[in-house]
Amino acid sequence: MFSYYIRLALTSIRRTPVLSALMVLALGLGIGAFMTTFTVYYLMSGDPIPHKSDVLYAVQLDNWDPNDDPTESASDVQPQLTYQDGQHLMNADTPAIRQVHMYGSDMVVVPEGDDPPFNENVRATYQTFFSMFDVPFIYGSPWDKRADDDHASVIVIGRKLNDRLFNGENSVGKSIQLNDGFYQITGVIDDWQPTPRFYHVDAGRRFSDSEQIFLPFTRAIDLVLGPNGNTNCWAPLDDSLPVIEAFLKSECVWTQFWAELETPEQAAAYKDYLDNYVRDQKQIGRFQRPLNTFISNVREWLVVNRVVTNDNRVLVRLSFLFLLVCVLNTVGLLMAKFLGKSGEVAVRRAMGASRQAVFIQNLVEVATIGVAGGVAGIGLAWLGLKGIENLYRGYQHLVHLDPVMLATAVCLAVISAILAGLYPVWRVSRQAPAGLLKAL
Amino acid sequence: MLKMSNISKIYRTELVETHALRELDLHVEEGEFVAVTGPSGSGKTTFLNIAGLLESSTSGLYELDGVDVSQLNDRKRSRIRNEKVGFIFQSFNLIPDLNLADNVDVPLRYRGWSGAERRKAVGDMLDLVGLGSRQNYLPSQLSGGQQQRVAIARALAGKPRFLLADEPTGNLDSEMAGAVMKLLEDINAEGTTIVMVTHDPDLANRADRNIHILDGRASDVIPAISPNVTPLPERGVARV
């Protein structure tokens, strides 16, 4: 019977093409607007590393200006560490299973042959980065701890760069020129794009591409690679020292620090370790504000950094209201459509169709319109996301409809259509057939 | 077959109360061909709608095929309507977007028959009314008489025992009306009970029995009188 109802639905839709198109358009507009904003919100608020998000912790130490406003939460503390604090933690025997100290930079890649040099984002980090964040490799592996200790000229590159420089072939063991030096490749990682890019959530970079070059932090410092990201300072550099040394010993925050802590007990012990470290530093005149150390797991970290802004939430709510307006319009259109079908309904009732059968038949028609509205909505959402991609740089990872979003769009459209159709369908199925038999 | 006792139907609005039927008593035997006549507004169509379970009476008892159908719910009434009753309307009431086969198929869909059973019944019925070669035509491609023959095929497809016809020749010229009437007589001869509402005294006189409704009451029983038709013995009663 269901296939019969589908056939009747398609016949009915063809009978009133303009009215049907208006309903599809109304639903499509509502679904399109909602899916555009909701897709961005969904990807912004997603867990970028769900299987480990509760064991990876970002570290914050409140080393800021003692005259600044008091700290009330982790959101009030700088999200990055000074070089000296990060290095201390990295080299200390802390309760963490693994830790990583890192920062973003950029270097010039000089290809072999006639291809011109180009700039590429770089992450200066430790070999622990790859195992902590489960970065997938297609060739080779990360460099080893000895390379970190030896400040070795080794790198891991991304698939895109490997495709560009080596046509996708295994490049492990080969060297490439970065700035003025050559670096041996130890591994090639697959496409890896956590969204949001939680490990470095500078505003404007939180949805950017992952880096294509990773090199030892120790080597990057030797090279004096400057940070490519926010650098915040509250005290002047010590002008009695060379500028680089002064910067590294300053209270400027520009590095990111993460710890892997598997149990709540480990997390508590790690927090105690941080508190004790800050207390020790206070003894030598640093950390003049009240003791404020924070560790936040990935999901907490995204909240601390307000990755999803209130504007995003307001937009989703507004677009949902717009969808409701579209659904209400569809109710009116469906009323007009089904009242025009009264004669046919009366004939079917006279031929033995129960009210329930008429109700289901027309609900299938409404759902069919909903599916068409969903498809139209997906098309409009795609256009909307393309518009966002063109308008806002750095949002390219938020402007795609994944299978979950596609299925959501169609389900939402069908549910919207059925909600819109419930009253008109109920009305037409309750009409007394006797008085309508001459209305065909 | 059909037994109505003290059937009344009152339509109420905020301002007026209209008595469409007043304590109607009527009895139709199985196999009868009964014509129902009466002026416009007399209650003929209301009687037909109640007889076909499209409406409920305000009061009274209605038994169809020995079953009291007065108090049944919509699902049971629909099932009885589907299995036992066939309708023929003055304006044919074919569904314009469906071809002839699909129109005839409509009542069978609600019967739960298999596809093969339905296809055979549809083919047989369209053959019966002489339109078997036009199964894929749309109603708009047929003349009025042909459309009414399709409507008859639809009414008969589920093999109902009781056929209700509301002015079945009202929109046809005399030649087509005669053909349709002949078809109904043939169907009746096969054993199907027919109740036909008509304004046309000539057609009424071709029925076994003629019931006249006036002001909501079956006011008279007129034996069929026609120079061409021999009256049958009375097989049912209608009383005031």
CATH number for the domain harbouring residue B85? 3.40.50.300
Closest Cβ opposite residue A357 in set B87, B89, B110:
B110
**How sure is the predictor about B238, in pLDDT bands with cuts at 50, 70 and 90?**
very low
**For residue B46, is it within any domain?**
yes
Distances (CA, A) of A245 to A62, A231, A286, A385: 22, 16, 18, 46
Answer yes or no: are the C-beta atoms of B82 and B36 closer than 8 Å. no
Nearest-angstrom CA–CA distance, A425 and A356? 10
pLDDT, averaged across chain A = 90
Question: Is B110 within 8 Å of chain A by CB?
Answer: yes
Least Cα separation, residue A438 to chain B (angstroms): 7
DSSP E strand stretches across chain B:
2-12, 17-28, 33-37, 59-64, 67-68, 85-88, 162-166, 193-197, 209-214, 217-223, 238-239
**And the tokens for A111?**
């290809």
Angstrom distances, CA of residue A17 to CA of A44, A90, B120, B216:
39, 68, 33, 44
Nearest to B95 among A344, A355, A437 (CB): A344
Answer yes or no: do B78 and A354 touch at CB < 8 A.
yes
d(CA A300, CA B135): 69
Contact A354 B89 (CB under 8 A): no
Q: How many CB pairs under 8 A join A and B?
A: 71
Integer angstrom CA distances of residue B191 from A213, B4, B33, B186: 91, 21, 10, 9
How many other CB atoms are found less than 10 A from the CB of residue A50? 10
Give me the domain span that covers residue B122.
Answer: 30-54+74-234
Q: Is the pLDDT of residue A427 over 80?
A: yes
What is the pLDDT at residue B222? 54
A355 inside 8 A of chain B by CB: yes
pLDDT in tens, A192-232: 989 888 999 887 777 788 899 999 999 999 999 999 888 99
Kindly compute the dihedral angle of the four CA atoms of residues A174, A177, A180, A181, in this order, to the nearest 10 degrees.
-20
Residue B230 predicted with pLDDT over 70: no
| pLDDT for the residue B223 | 52
Rounded Cα–Cα distance for residues A143 and A220 (Å): 14
Number of domains within chain B: 1
Which two tokens mark B108? Answer: 């069978």
Percent of chain A with pLDDT over 90: 54
- pTM of the entire predicted model: 0.69
Q: The complex's ipTM?
A: 0.85
Q: Residue B56's pLDDT is what?
A: 87
Residue B8 predicted with pLDDT over 80: yes
A46 or A261, higher pLDDT: A261
Q: Are A281 and A89 in contact (CB under 8 A)?
A: no
Residue B129, both tokens: 């009314």
Most confidently predicted of A33-37, A292-296, A349-353, A367-371: A292-296
Nearest CA in chain A to B104: A351
Res B219 pLDDT > 80: no
What is the rounded CA–CA span in Å between residue B85 and residue B83? 6
Residue that has been written with the tokens 């129109």 in this structure: B103
Of B45, B54, B74, nearest to A350 by CB-CB distance is: B54
**Cα-Cα-Cα-Cα dihedral of B113, B118, B121, B127, to 10°?**
170
Check: CB of residue B93 under 8 Å from CB of residue B57: no
Asked whether A334 and A366 are in contact (CB, 8 A), the reply is yes
Write the pLDDT tens digit of every residue in A129-178: 999 999 999 999 999 999 999 999 999 999 999 999 999 999 999 999 99
- Residue A397 has a pLDDT of 65
Is B13 among the domain residues? no
Neighbouring C-beta atoms of residue A253, cutoff 10 Å: 24
- Interface mutation target, options A351, A355, A358, chain B, most CBs of B under 10 Å: A351
Assess if residue B60 is contained within a domain: no
Chain CA centroid to CA A269, Å: 31
A347 to B52: CB separation less than 8 angstroms, yes or no = no
Q: Which residue of A has its CA nearest to B157?
A: A351
Tens of pLDDT, residue by residue over B113-141, are 888 999 999 998 898 888 888 989 999 99
| C-alpha distance from A365 to closest chain B C-alpha (Å) | 15
For the segment A78-102, the average pLDDT, to the nearest whole number, is 95
| Nearest 10 degrees: Cα torsion B69, B71, B73, B77 | 20
Indicate the SS3 state at residue B20. Answer: strand
What pLDDT, on a 0 to 100 scale, did the predictor assign at position A434? 76
Q: Do B96 and A440 touch (CB under 8 A)?
A: yes
In B113-216, where do the E strands start and end? 162-166, 193-197, 209-214
Bridge-based pairing state of the strands B85-88 and A293-297: unpaired
Let me know: does B189 contact B138? Beta carbons within 8 Å: no
Residue B91 has pLDDT above 90, yes or no: no
Locus of tokens 């560490």: A81
**Rounded CA separation A330/B112 (Å):** 33
The answer to whether residue A431 scores a pLDDT higher than 90 is no
What is the dihedral sign for C-alpha A165, A171, A172, A174? negative
Q: CA-nearest residue of chain B to A15?
A: B97
Residue B108, pLDDT above cutoff 90: yes
Pairwise CA distance, residues B24 & B36, whole Å = 13
Selected residue with higher pLDDT from A338 and A137: A137
- Asked if A350 and B91 come within 8 Å (Cβ–Cβ), the reply is no
| pLDDT of the residue at B208 | 86
User: Checking phi first, is residue B43 left (phi over 0); if not, alpha (psi -120 to 50) or beta?
Assistant: left
For residues B229 and A230, give the distance between their C-alpha atoms in angstroms, rounded to a whole number: 106
Number of neighbours of residue B154 by Cβ within 10 angstroms? 29
Nearest-by-CA chain A residue for B45: A434
Which pLDDT value is given to residue B231? 42
Cα–Cα distance for residue pair A246/A80, rounded to 1 Å? 18
* Torsion angle in degrees (nearest 10) through CA of B214, B216, B219, B224: 70
Q: Residue A425's Cα: distance from chain center in Å?
A: 41
State the DSSP string of A85-151: HHHHHHHS--S-SEEEEEEEEEEEEE-STTPPPEEEEEEEE-THHHHHTT--EEEE----HHHHHTT
Residue A316 Rama label (left phi>0; alpha psi -120 to 50; beta): alpha
